[in-house]
Structure 1
Amino acid sequence: MHEDFDAVSGRPSKRKRLDRIDTGVFDVLRARLKHPVIEKVCTMVDKTVAHAERIDPKGPAVPIATFNDVDEALGRIVRVCQFISWNLLAEGGFSSVMATPQLNVLEHLDQPWCQKTTLPALHEYWNAPSRAMDEWGNSAEEELLAKTATTPTGGPATS
């Protein structure tokens, strides 16, 4: 936990009781959540799902988020949540982002939807996005700490 705190406080040469989290860490987290793809998904959901009655026929068109947009937005949100959970709160993060069914979701798909010979491929197809989403959480610390590296003067880097 000390090493994790050192990483978010700018890696001081000597720890002090009053060391604080480098504000650059919060700037990076805010920037991650203000990404245009997240705003696009939020706007689409707000205008078409949550508050569909607010759509103005004379207003601007509602942005349509693609599957890839939703996937990227979710990945960004998961990475920020994972980073906050592990590095700022010292709590456990996601064990898996993908919902873990308590049953075999493919058990009765052998007829007529598919054949028993294709079930292994379907299992892999199911597991591939789960592994990809889990990687979002696994890469959060490395990805976000690299963006909060401090300059020799002790301030946040501007890259």
Structure 2
Amino acid sequence: MSGQLRRIVEMQDWVKVICLGDVVSAYCMESARLPDVIVFDGKTQRAESKFVKEDLLRGMGFGLVEVSNPPGGLSVEAMETLCDAINSYNGRIAIKVNGEEDMLTLAALSCAPANSLIIYGIPNRGAAVVVTNTIISHEVQTRLLRLVPSSIMVQA
């Protein structure tokens, strides 16, 4: 998987490259074109992992932000942090999630600019690769609005 992801990341001048998940992020960091945003939780299939090391991220020029997000859900704070990192931050940023990062893929798909590359891990299968466009962003935004309210955690 590592070589394949590296080729995909390097094959085009993407507006943004966004990696979600520890294993996928570690593989993407091996490419000549570093990701703009990495989202990780320090776990792989709910077990502690050391695929992404914070000191290595800092050494590669990534800013580091921490955010909370519940397993199987989306917190407003996590969604806003990710979308701000994608659209407002002009450097590389790594978001460490206290909780679980899996559902944040939806937020990335909804707010990434067109012609961005989003890569996220699929346990026991590999990785999914999506090139964003306005149709994808609109569709994901519509689906986010249909989520059961308990799936989105509003933290006061």
Fold-level similarity (TM above 0.5)? no
Q: Higher strand fraction: Structure 1 or Structure 2?
A: 2
Name the TM-score class by shorter chain: under 0.3
TM-score between both structures, scaled by the size of structure 1: 0.22
Bigger radius of gyration among the two: 1
TM-score between both structures, scaled by the size of structure 2: 0.22
